[in-house]
Amino acid sequence: MFNNTFKPVFTSGFDPYNYSLQIFDRWGELIFESYNNAIGWDGTYGLNGNLIQSGTYSYRVRFKVLKNDEYQVVVGYVNLLK
């Protein structure tokens, strides 16, 4: 099984209008950003969609919780394998 995109999976309880996903390289440069929870990172960079090197990249997901109107931030790492 292949995962062609990386994106968080929400079941409920978040505001899709207050969501962001950011992917950073090892130097901290932003290489991908999305404000749509249905769009994930496909391992490309830039307007031309150049495939980047295999490696470990950090991510940051920020979203608003509907229950208490607070923002949550989740950070971690994703491994890109070709």
Output the DSSP codes for 14-64: EEEEEEEEEEE-TT--EEEEES-TT--B-SEETTTTEEPPSEEEEEEEEEE
pTM value? 0.89
Predicted local confidence at residue 69, as pLDDT: 83
Question: How many domains are there within the chain?
Answer: 1
Predicted local confidence at residue 1, as pLDDT: 54
Predicted local confidence at residue 56, as pLDDT: 97
Domain annotation covers residue 75: yes
Domain annotation covers residue 33: yes
Domain annotation covers residue 45: yes
The answer to whether 5 and 41 have CB atoms below 8 angstroms apart is yes
Domain annotation covers residue 62: yes
Domain annotation covers residue 25: yes
Per-residue pLDDT of the chain (82 residues; tens, 9 = 90+): 577 899 999 888 899 899 999 999 999 999 999 999 999 999 999 888 889 999 999 999 999 998 898 999 999 999 998 7
Domain annotation covers residue 27: yes
**Cβ-based neighbours of 77, under 8 Å, separated by 6 or more:** 56, 57, 58, 59
Print the domain residue range for 71.
Answer: 14-80
